[in-house]
Amino acid sequence: MMTREEVNRLLFCLIAILLGLWLSGCATNCPTPEPKIQTQEVDVPTPVSCLGNVPPKPDYETGYLDPDTADGEVLLEMARNWVKAQSYEAWLQAAMVGCQKLPPSSTAPATTQLSTPASAPVAASQ
């Protein structure tokens, strides 16, 4: 019969051997699978600016008239300014319609170049 000390020593050796075998399994060189590279196209909504070049606001000349200017001349100047204002308003309305028609996808251009209408005056920056 084995003594208690011999049994403990035998159990200790068995545990050490099993632990050694268990840890040696971690050292084996298992083949790792090759990573699969796949290209996917993902549509991501991107905010875009719908206006490129905004024309400057028309320079209305009625503000520069002398206070003692004749009423008829003031009225003529106001009529000329009305034409400028209508041209500018038409351009702004066209730009707003263009902004509403842009699709909300990333295929939309980053900026849309809009040309200044021919009848709109280009005033010097103030």
What does the pLDDT look like over 33-62, one tens digit per residue? 888 899 988 887 666 566 667 778 888 877
In a domain, 34, yes or no: no
In a domain, 4, yes or no: no
More confident residue, 101 or 1: 1
Instruction: Please give the C-alpha separations between residue 89 and each of 10, 94, 98, in angstroms, as whole numbers.
Output: 99, 9, 14
Domain that holds residue 109: 59-126
Q: How far apart are CA 92 and CA 108, in angstroms?
A: 20
In a domain, 94, yes or no: yes
In a domain, 31, yes or no: no
Structure tokens at 9: 């020593």
In a domain, 118, yes or no: yes
Instruction: Quote the mean pLDDT of the chain.
Output: 75
In a domain, 70, yes or no: yes
In a domain, 52, yes or no: no
